[in-house]
A and B are shown apart, each in its own frame.
Chain A
Amino acid sequence: MLRKLAGLSGSIVLTVLGLLAVTFVIGRVVPIDPVLSVIGENAPPGAYERARADLGLDQPLHVQFGRFVKKAVTGDFGVSVLTARPVIDDLKRVFPATIELASLATLIGVLLGVPLGIVAAVRHQTWVDHLARILALIGHSVPVFWIGLMGLLVFYAELGWVGGPGRQSIAFLDIVPVRTGMILLDCLIDGDFESLADAFRHIVLPASVLGLFSLAYICRMTRSFMIEQLSKEYITAARIKGLSEWRVVMGHALRNIAVPLVTVIALSYGYLLEGSVLTETVFAWPGLGNYLTDSLLRSDMNGVLGGTIVIGAIFIGLNLLSDILYRLLDPRTR
């Protein structure tokens, strides 16, 4: 076990280095003068050379890469052109918004997806099963930004059921002090229920849109795990013993699929980070994804690379987590 973990962490280090190498290369091929981003358009020639040296751009490539890795590991991604602040500070600020959105979406996905997947497996080839299949297909066929846009059109502009883009209505902005950065939690801590209600009206649509994709994935996986379990001999034996179907499914089969299910949920969380890029853009949700596309459209490469590295690192972390969870929870590997 320990040796395996050591090997694992070795491969993690290599993967992270690779991630940094890829982002470094991307940063170098950008057809934008990074010096210009720092000094602006009308700077005198001397200032240009100085800024170039300050950025270390006069050094050979491998030295630049060494610098890049050293800085990235310490969380120094440079200063954002967009906000004139260190990228890492920006990332810290926008991160909770994404976590909040992705967590709520995952919650929706788990609370609806797992039961639906189970019922679909038990009631194989009934309408529930078809519903589960259709949902899975939607999750794989519908562009997230489009369904978000249509959601805004219907539920915000036409019906007025939910709040518009952003995390809060204008009137509620800056009322609740920032503690966790997660707006629902902050409102709760502050005991401000009007703000909470407003924040909820705003998060419900983007979380549902993202949750739909999480739901589709979790439901599909639950269903196929369950079908596999239900065809096993011990299930048949339990049924012969005369246990109720409920006991068979919830007591025996579910317990056995719990471990792979947890890893699936961890992975789906990772996919949500990816989905959040487009969702946040559509909903003007001030999170990591929005920050990334904002930086992208403004060619703020420090922001783009910082955001990419952080999302990549979280992705690696989640993969690792699901791996470890699997090892820890699965009785066979314990």
Chain B
Amino acid sequence: MSGAASTLRDYLTTPTPRSRRHAALQRAWLAWRRLRNNPTAMAGLGIIVLIVLVAAFAPWIATHSPFEQNLNNRLAPPSAAHWLGTDEFGRDVYSRLVYGSRVALRIIGLVTVITGPIGLLIGAIAGYAGGWVDAALMRITDIFLAFPRLILALALTSALGPNIDNAILAIGITGWPPLARLARAETLTIRASDFIAAARVIGASATRIVVGHVMPLCMPSLIVRLTLDMAGVILIAAGLGFLGLGAQPPQPEWGAMIAAGRKFVFDQWWIAAIPGIAICVLSLGFNLFGDGLRDALDPKTHS
């Protein structure tokens, strides 16, 4: 880092990027600036950051252990001692809600780790290879797309056995096809571009081209899609939890908390109502942020 680019700001805004990484960083900077001017996207980001912080500092934010039972103080209404009341085992609902953010974020993180790479790999390979490879991979993708996602996830979790790891696996398995489709479409455009032709001329291998050139260029739209998808992941995970197929007791998963509160909904309504609000807020955060990200990364759709 020498010469004109003496400050970070100059480095990020100079009209003549010096390397591919430099150019990528500049694009990210530009996107960030666009994002910063989008209040709803920033609100979404704020929600996500807040919940990540809550999850990270849960032991300090919670007032009780999320597992500690007190059978003599069951189903208590909100009070100074228990801000959001207690559940059927006398556990503190507020503290369970706080720790529940960890479960939610863990599900989102792991699902993304499963769906992102699989979708990208399959889509890029299909798009770049073309021919029968493309046909075969896309056929498989279509088969998975033919199932309504929730229903396939339900059937899978019930078959694998109801627990949170299987739920994550099931959501992941049902989540990659749209990403693969997207990555393939991107790859088709990229493949047709001049610089890929140039790379091929100088003798770069297919693997190198796909990994080094195609995949990085698919990333922006993939990230947008993944972010928007996270809201869906939260809802499906909560649905599985609600049906008893997701996280298991005593884990404070929000969907399972609603299911437990369902028994008392007509008398102690807050037990079911509160975790639902948490789900809405987190998923709203990802939706707002994802929308903003799409506008920032993909100016074409800016309307």
Q: Contact between B272 and A143 (Cβ–Cβ < 8 Å)?
A: no
In angstroms, how far is the closest chain B Cβ from the Cβ of A251? 23
In angstroms, how far is the closest chain B Cβ from the Cβ of A98? 13
Q: Contact between B155 and A305 (Cβ–Cβ < 8 Å)?
A: yes
Q: Which of B149, B235, B238, B279 has the most CB of A within 10 A?
A: B235
In angstroms, how far is the closest chain A Cβ from the Cβ of B283? 4
How far, in angstroms, from A273 to B146 measured CA to CA in the complex? 13
How far, in angstroms, from A140 to B265 measured CA to CA in the complex? 24
Knowing A27-B159, A137-B287, A149-B262, the reply to whether A312 touches B243 (Cβ < 8 A) is: no
Q: Which residues of A contact B255 (CB under 8 A)?
A: 143
B229-251, CB under 8 A of A: which get 1 and which 0? 00110010011001111000000
Q: Contact between A137 and B288 (Cβ–Cβ < 8 Å)?
A: yes
Q: Which B residue's beta carbon lies closest to that of A319? A: B146
B274-295, CB under 8 A of A: which get 1 and which 0? 0010011001100110000000
In the complex, number of A-B residue pairs with CB atoms less than 8 Å apart: 135
The range of chain B's interface size is 35 or more
How far, in angstroms, from A278 to B239 measured CA to CA in the complex? 7
> Out of B151, B155, B235, B244, which one reaches A143, CB within 8 Å?
B235
How far, in angstroms, from A315 to B147 measured CA to CA in the complex? 7
> Out of B242, B272, B287, which one reaches A141, CB within 8 Å?
B287
Knowing A27-B159, A141-B283, A149-B258, the reply to whether A311 touches B151 (Cβ < 8 A) is: yes
How far, in angstroms, from A1 to B279 measured CA to CA in the complex? 47
Q: Contact between B276 and A143 (Cβ–Cβ < 8 Å)?
A: yes
A138-153, CB under 8 A of B: which get 1 and which 0? 0011111111011011
The range of chain A's interface size is 35 or more
How far, in angstroms, from A149 to B264 measured CA to CA in the complex? 11
Q: Which A residue's beta carbon lies closest to that of B288? A: A137
- Residue B132 lies at the interface, judged by CB distance under 8 Å to chain A: no
Knowing A30-B158, A150-B273, the reply to whether A145 touches B258 (Cβ < 8 A) is: yes
Q: Contact between B148 and A271 (Cβ–Cβ < 8 Å)?
A: yes
- Residue A31 lies at the interface, judged by CB distance under 8 Å to chain B: yes
How far, in angstroms, from A125 to B45 measured CA to CA in the complex? 22
How far, in angstroms, from A137 to B47 measured CA to CA in the complex? 15
Q: Contact between A281 and B243 (Cβ–Cβ < 8 Å)?
A: yes
How far, in angstroms, from A224 to B265 measured CA to CA in the complex? 39
Q: Contact between A312 and B161 (Cβ–Cβ < 8 Å)?
A: no
- Residue A297 lies at the interface, judged by CB distance under 8 Å to chain B: yes
> Out of B140, B147, B269, which one reaches A312, CB within 8 Å?
B147
Knowing A149-B272, A278-B239, A296-B158, the reply to whether A18 touches B151 (Cβ < 8 A) is: no
How far, in angstroms, from A47 to B232 measured CA to CA in the complex? 47
Q: Contact between A312 and B142 (Cβ–Cβ < 8 Å)?
A: no
Q: Which residues of B contact A14 (CB under 8 A)?
A: 139, 143
Q: Contact between B139 and A150 (Cβ–Cβ < 8 Å)?
A: no
In angstroms, how far is the closest chain B Cβ from the Cβ of A68? 15
Q: In residues 68-82 of chain B, which contact A (Cβ within 8 Å)?
A: none
In angstroms, how far is the closest chain B Cβ from the Cβ of A308? 5
- Residue A171 lies at the interface, judged by CB distance under 8 Å to chain B: no
Q: In residues 13-57 of chain A, which contact B (Cβ within 8 Å)?
A: 14-15, 18-19, 21-23, 26-27, 29-31
Q: Contact between A145 and B239 (Cβ–Cβ < 8 Å)?
A: yes
- Residue A257 lies at the interface, judged by CB distance under 8 Å to chain B: no
- Residue B156 lies at the interface, judged by CB distance under 8 Å to chain A: yes
In angstroms, how far is the closest chain A Cβ from the Cβ of B122? 15
- Residue A277 lies at the interface, judged by CB distance under 8 Å to chain B: yes
How far, in angstroms, from A21 to B146 measured CA to CA in the complex? 12
Q: Which A residue's beta carbon lies closest to that of B143? A: A18
A-B contact pairs, 7 of them (CB 8 A): A19-B143, A22-B152, A26-B155, A137-B287, A274-B151, A278-B239, A312-B147
Q: Which 8 A-B pairs have the closest CB atoms?
A: A18-B143, A146-B276, A274-B148, A141-B283, A141-B284, A26-B159, A30-B159, A157-B266
